[in-house]
Chains A and B, each alone.
Chain A
Amino acid sequence: MCGIVGLFLKDPKLEPQLGAMLTDMLITMTDRGPDSAGIAIYSGAKDGLGKLTIQSANPDKDFKDLDGDLHDAIGQPVTMKIKSTHAVLEVPLDQMEAARSALSHLSPGVKVMSAGDSIEIFKEVGLPKDVAARFELSKMKGTHGIGHTRMATESAVTTMGAHPFSTGSDQCLVHNGSLSNHNGVRRELKRLGMTFETENDTEVGAAFISHKLKSGETLGNALEATLTDLDGFFTFVVGTKNGFGVVRDPIACKPAVMAETDQYVAFGSEYRALVNLPGIEDARVWEPEPATVYFWER
C-alpha cells in the first residue's frame, strides 16, 4: 500500500495553512501506511540563501554548536532551526557544497535529507500523527508540498527508508508501489555518478528522475522516461522548486485521485484524503490516466 498526498496552491491566501491542510490529509492516510511518514514542503526561497535539512539519530550530540562550527568551517554565517531529529540550516547558496562537505567531517552521524532554495523534508518512523506532531508540520507555510505514509515492502522501516526521497536540488519524490528492476537501474545510475543512501526501490526512482533533469531533460520528459525504463508498479508524485508532477504506470493498480479548484491542485491516494479541503464539493475531481504525465508549475 502506502498513502500519498500533495497540494499545490494557486491562491497565496492559503499559503499560511499549507502545513495544516497537508497534515490533515497525511493523517487520513494512516491506514495505508502506518510504518513511517514524511513531508516535503516548499516554503519559498530567500535571496542568496539555500537550505539544508539534516537529520540525526542523536540530535542532542550531533546538532550541538553545529551552526557555529559550520560558520567557522565555511567562513560565512549559518543559521540552524532544530526540530526534533531534524534541523534546517540556512547557508549562502554559493556555500552549499562547501557546507555539505564540512558537515560530513564535523558531524559524520548527520544525514542530509534535502538541499535547495526552498525545499525542507521531515520524515521519521512512526504513525503519521506522531511524526506530524514531532515536527509541528501543521504550523508550516509554503507554496506546495508532498506527503507520504509508508507501508514498507522493498526495504527496512527506517528513517532513511521513509519518503520523500530527495536526490537533487529542490527535488523530491514519493511512491506508492514497488519497482522490480531497481537493482539494475541503481547499478547503471551509480556508473553515471549518482549516489545512494539506501537499498530502497523508491530512491532509485527519485535518482532516475534527478539524473534525467541533470542531463538537461524537462520534468515532463523525465517523467515520461519512467514509463519505459522503470519496471513495476508505481504512482509517483514528484516535487520541484516550482511545482509538482504526477505519473502512474500503464497498469495503474495503485490508486490516485486529483482535485482542482481556483485555489489549489490536490493529490490523494484516496478521495477521503481530500474531503476536508476548502471547496472540495465543487472541485473538479478525477483520476489521473495511466501512463500519462501531469504537472503543475508556477
Chain B
Amino acid sequence: MQTFDLGKEGLRALNSALHALKGQTNMTDWEVINPKGAHAIAAGVDAPVDITVRGSTGYYCAGMNKQATIRIKGSAGPGVAENMMSGTVIIDGDASQYAGATGRGGLLVIKGNASSRCGISMKGIDIVVHGNIGHMSAFMAQSGNLVVLGNAGEALGDSLYEARLFVRGTVKSLGADCIEKEMRDEHYAILEDLLRRGEADHKARPEEFRRYGSARKLYNFNIDNASSY
C-alpha cells in the first residue's frame, strides 16, 4: 500500500506519481489522505490500480480516468469522473454537479445524491446513483446507462440521443424529446448487472425501475418548423 499525504506532498506530486504508472506495476494499491476538497485529485490516471481517497474532493476528481478503480470516502465536488474512459469510480457520499459528464466508458457509482447535470453528454459511461439526481441530468446524453434508485429532478434527458435512463422513483419532469419506454428483457438484464456492480443490488430490484429514452423527434430538422427560426 502506497500512502500519499496530499497535505504534505501536494497535488502535483500525487498526480505525477500516478501518471508514471504504466502497464504492469506492483504498486497497485494507493491511499490518498488529507484531500481537503482539493481539485483534480487522481485525474488522468491510466493504469489498473486501486486508489482510495480518504475524505471529500473538489473539482474534477478522477477526471479522464482509464483502467483505475478510484474510491472516494467522502463527497465529490463538481465534474467528478468527467470524461472517464474506463475503470470504476465509487463515491461513498454525494456528488456535485455534472458528475460523469461526457464519460465514454467505465462505471461511476454515487452512493449518496448527485446534483444537477449528472451524466450530461454521457457517451458510453454507466452511472449508478443510489440517491436522487438534480435537474437537467443526462442532457444530450448519447450512449451508456444512467441508473437512479431515487428521484430525478426537472428536465431529465433533454435532447437525448441513445443513452438509456432508468429511474426507480419519481421524475419531476422530462426534457424535450425524452419519453418513457417499455422495459424489455434486455433492460432487466442490464439493470441486474449494473445494480450488482454498482453495489446496489441489496437496495433495489430491476422490476422497480422505469425506462426513459429518446423519442428521436429531434434527430432531423422538421421543415414545418422553418418559420419558427
Contacts and interface: CB of A to CB of B under 8 A. Distances in A.
Interface of A: 250-253, 255, 257, 270-275, 285-287, 290
A290 B116 contact: yes
A143 to B, nearest CB: 26
Interface string B41-57: 00000000000000010
Nearest to A272: B37
B88 interface: no
A253 B58 contact: no
Given A252-B97, A255-B78, A275 B36 contact: yes
A250 B153 CA distance: 12
B94 A290 contact: no
Nearest to B93: A285
Contact of B96 (A250, A274, A287, A290): A287
Interface centre among A251, A253, A271 (most CB of B within 10 A): A271
Contacts of B56: 271, 285
Contact of A272 (B36, B94, B116): B36
Contacts of B59: 270
Contact of A270 (B77, B97, B115): B77
Given A271-B37, A271-B56, A255 B96 contact: yes
B38 A253 contact: no
Interface of B: 36-38, 56, 58-59, 75, 77-78, 94, 96-97, 115-116, 134-135
Given A287-B94, A287-B115, A270 B37 contact: yes
A271 B97 contact: no
18 contacts: A250-B135, A251-B116, A252-B116, A252-B134, A252-B135, A253-B116, A255-B77, A255-B78, A255-B97, A270-B58, A270-B77, A271-B75, A272-B38, A273-B37, A275-B36, A287-B96, A287-B115, A290-B134
B115 A275 contact: no
Nearest to B115: A287
Say whether chain B's binding surface is mostly helix, strand, loop, or mixed.
loop
A38 B36 CA distance: 24
Say whether chain A's binding surface is mostly helix, strand, loop, or mixed.
loop
A255 B78 CA distance: 8
Contacts of A275: 36-37
B37 A253 contact: no
Given A251-B116, A255-B77, A271-B58, 16 more contacts: A252-B115, A255-B96, A270-B58, A270-B59, A271-B37, A271-B75, A272-B36, A272-B38, A272-B58, A274-B37, A285-B56, A285-B75, A287-B94, A287-B96, A290-B116, A290-B134
Contact of B94 (A250, A252, A270, A286): A286
Contacts of A251: 116
A290 B96 CA distance: 12
Interface centre among A270, A273, A274 (most CB of B within 10 A): A270
B77 A253 contact: no
Contacts of B78: 255
B226 to A, nearest CB: 29
Contacts of A285: 56, 75
A5 to B, nearest CB: 13
A272 B115 CA distance: 18
B77 to A, nearest CB: 6
B38 to A, nearest CB: 6
B94 to A, nearest CB: 7
List 7 A-B pairs, minimum CB-CB distance, nearest first: A272-B37, A271-B37, A275-B36, A271-B56, A287-B115, A272-B58, A275-B37
A37 B158 CA distance: 39
Contacts of B38: 272
Contacts of B134: 252, 290
A253 B130 CA distance: 23
Nearest to A287: B115
Contacts of A270: 37, 58-59, 77
A285 B58 CA distance: 14
